[in-house]
Structure 1
Amino acid sequence: MKEMVASFSYSPILVALSVLVAIQASYVGISLALLIPGAFANRRRLLIAGSATTLAVGIWGMHFIGMLAVTTSIDIDYAVLPTLLSFFVCGLVTGIAIYLASLRSQRLLILAAFAMGLGIVTMHYVGMIAIHSVVHVNHDPRYVLASITIAIAASGLALWLAFSADRRPPLFLCAAVLGCAVSGMHYMAMAGMTIHPTVGHGTVAKSVISSDMLAIIVSIVACTISAVFMLALIPSEPRDASSDAVWNTPDALAPMRLEKAMGEEHGGHAGHWAAPATETSIVLLPVEKNGSRFHIAPDDVASIHSNAHYTYVFNGRDDLFCPLSITEIASRLDKARFFRTHRSYIVNLDFVLRIKKVGDAGIAELDTPVRRTVPVSRARLATLRQELQSYQSSVATDLSNA
């Protein structure tokens, strides 16, 4: 006896809504992810969690709305456990992918593309298990392979455009590519799916909430979650003209000095912070790593990030805790080499590889063993370009005269 195959069609409005939800979540998720390289400690973890959660909700919401868009004679019910499992898998894998991509390494970017693509595919097929209680589902292997290819390729393209392209396109374009990757994968997989009703299941009564209304509710929830993360984690930067004037003035005060020998005034113990000393000493910054206290010279400082009343000093590999405020550190550094790109960031021009425009502001990419970017405020972007060009010219002149 030939097994019956149920036909199905789509609601065009819900299909369009599912794609919009995926693009909107991708926009917020990538916006948060772009802030990860310049963040530290708790804020870095919050950004990764916010980006992963936003993307997971959007991707899962797109999948759920896409299933609600299906019109068939069979009442499709969803098992709770596989549905929730598909969401958690999506959140975990996208979090890993976003973190890897934020490190701005080409090798890790490839891993991130595979992780995100396979995560989207896994989420879809795990979610499809939820309907096996009322129907049998078969998948055409050709369409499965095509959906995997689309998910990985489009995810990789979106991550590359957002994190590694020399001239990053508008953020909306990156979000549209990722949103279309999610949607394209879903509908490609659905094209290769056949539904076989189980014995004893036919047309049954409709649920209290219509598919259209449920899709609208899911869309509102997904967009609300994205908006909350956007408002909570993307800071608005007030203009700080006085800080610019003090920091970038050629006649600024000479740097303060610290003792070259560590802990001489504390019985020779390196576990204590050294105090300011004489004019014959050199500039050193007190830092701490894993409970060990020592000092770092400006030549080894790639960037500095303010965190409340203290700072983190990045030496190219590690973020070292420093008890000084960013204002105090600024007074000790050479104004010709160090530039305050943001009210919370200082960068060493020796380490700046290139400057990119990102939206209305920009980022400075550092040439360090661990790839790092430093945010540049809109008001200081043009000045940083000029300062970097002038500094590189002066360094080249000094080398030629040596």
Structure 2
Amino acid sequence: MATINHFEYGWITPALSYALSVLGSFLGLICAGRIRTAHTGGQRAWWGILAAWAIGGTAIWTMHFMAMLGFGVEGTRIRYDVPLTVASAVTAVAAVGIGLAIVGTGRLSAVRIIVGGVFTGAGVAAMHYTGMAAMRLNGDLVYDRTRVVLSVAIAVAAATVALWLAVTVRRLLALVGSALVMGVAVNGMHFTGMSALSVHLHDRQGRLSGAGVSTLLVPIVLAVIFVVVGLVYALLAAPTEEDRAGAAYLDTRREPFPATAEPGTPPDPAGLRAHSARTTLGQPGGTPFPRRRDDSPR
């Protein structure tokens, strides 16, 4: 039985993984809140995709990989199978996206939240163990079934709570508190699943295939930066409900053109045409100025 170290670099990797999960959860909750307030199906799909990328990609999968940087097994190096690693990321994003689609469309109910939470939680657990299967080391991975079941239960509970928060929480302080709670839940699921693992080393040390941590770290960090910047930009550029209300109020304050204007008549924003009509009222010949008293016939 090999000695496993989950915190090879001390507190740095768990702190960074928690920070990433909180950041992704916060941005994802904001995007998810826009789903039910969107006015078109295209807008709902857009905010659902952004929320899935934030929660599934950043809060869950990137957190998982950051925590794995601190994972080490004494007596062997660790490399990662790139296709399986990418598949684990796609699984996380797809699971969260489908869960949001379940609760974000139609009439909101407890059944929808539970069904979406079960599906999303199972997807998150599948992401975790797919990412673990992507490891390449000189040994065999063995899991304790009880702790595996416990980690799946935590993933389902965390996903259900996350979906419920995504469609109910609106205020800023509540969003921050919800993101902090979600960060604890996501990290709790990860380290519970990791505690179920034990490694039996091989007698012979063979050559390992796959990519090293340093090879994967740079593209992952760049992807996180681009995703976070893109999400922040999308949130800042999108009009809020207050913006829409203000625009509607300005529309009601605008005065329409006179109903008596003939077709093809150019606009008269200064009201000169109406003034001319008032001054010619009752004047012979349509003179635009009133007649002076000394102009009357003698």
Which of the two has greater helix per residue? Answer: 2
Partner in structure 2 of residue 127 of structure 1? 131
Work out whether residues 56 and 91 of structure 1, in 8 Å CA contact, stay in contact via their aligned partners in 2: yes
Partner in structure 2 of residue 225 of structure 1? 227
What CA deviation, in whole Å up to 9, does each residue of 1:251-276 have, x standing for no partner? Answer: x99xxxxxxxxxxxxxxxxxxxxxxx
Code of the residue aligned with 1:33 in structure 2: it is A
Distance 1:110 1:196 in 2: 38
Code of the residue aligned with 2:233 in structure 1: it is L
Change in Cα spacing, 1:101 to 1:176, as seen in structure 2 (3 Å) is farther
Q: In structure 2, which of residues 205, 224, 249 is the aligned counterpart of residue 244 of structure 1?
A: 249
Change in Cα spacing, 1:243 to 1:86, as seen in structure 2 (3 Å) is closer
Change in Cα spacing, 1:169 to 1:155, as seen in structure 2 (3 Å) is farther
Q: Normalising by structure 2, report the TM-score.
A: 0.71
Change in Cα spacing, 1:136 to 1:242, as seen in structure 2 (3 Å) is closer
Shift in Å at residue 217 of structure 1?
6.3
Distance 1:41 1:138 in 2: 46
Structure whose alpha-carbon radius of gyration is higher: 2
Partner in structure 2 of residue 314 of structure 1? none
Shift in Å at residue 198 of structure 1?
2.8
Indicate the larger mover: 31-40 or 173-182.
173-182
Shift in Å at residue 55 of structure 1?
2.0
**2:19 is the alignment partner of 1:7:** no
Distance 2:99 2:195 in 1: 27
Partner in structure 2 of residue 18 of structure 1? 17
Summarize the alignment of residues 325-340 of structure 1 with structure 2, pairs less than 5 Å apart: none
Code of the residue aligned with 2:4 in structure 1: it is S
Q: In the comparison of the two structures, how many residue pairs are matched?
A: 244
Distance 1:89 1:140 in 2: 23
Code of the residue aligned with 1:17 in structure 2: it is L
What CA deviation, in whole Å up to 9, does each residue of 1:183-235 have, x standing for no partner? Answer: 1111011111101223422899xx98759xx6586345324302202312551
Indicate the larger mover: 128-137 or 183-192.
128-137
Partner in structure 2 of residue 41 of structure 1? 41
Shift in Å at residue 26 of structure 1?
1.1
Shift in Å at residue 36 of structure 1?
0.9
Shift in Å at residue 241 of structure 1?
5.0
Code of the residue aligned with 1:8 in structure 2: it is N
**2:89 is the alignment partner of 1:62:** no
Change in Cα spacing, 1:106 to 1:132, as seen in structure 2 (3 Å) is same
Which of the two has greater strand per residue? Answer: 1
Q: CA RMSD in A?
A: 3.2
Q: Please, which runs of 5 or more residues in structure 2 have no aligned partner? A: 257-298
Distance 2:172 2:119 in 1: 22
Matched residue SS, 1:38: coil
Summarize the alignment of residues 1-400 of structure 1 with structure 2, pairs less than 5 Å apart: 4-10=1-7, 11=9, 12-39=11-38, 40-58=40-58, 59-73=60-74, 74-103=76-105, 104-132=108-136, 134-164=138-168, 170-201=174-205, 218-219=220-221, 221-233=223-235, 235-237=238-240, 238=243, 241=246, 243-244=248-249, 247=252
Q: Normalising by structure 1, report the TM-score.
A: 0.54
Code of the residue aligned with 1:227 in structure 2: it is V
Q: Please, which runs of 5 or more residues in structure 1 have no aligned partner? A: 254-402
Distance 2:3 2:94 in 1: 34
Change in Cα spacing, 1:209 to 1:96, as seen in structure 2 (3 Å) is closer
Distance 1:46 1:208 in 2: 34
Distance 1:209 1:149 in 2: 29
Shift in Å at residue 164 of structure 1?
4.0
Matched residue SS, 1:170: helix
Work out whether residues 79 and 135 of structure 2, in 8 Å CA contact, stay in contact via their aligned partners in 1: yes
Work out whether residues 84 and 134 of structure 2, in 8 Å CA contact, stay in contact via their aligned partners in 1: yes
Distance 1:118 1:111 in 2: 11
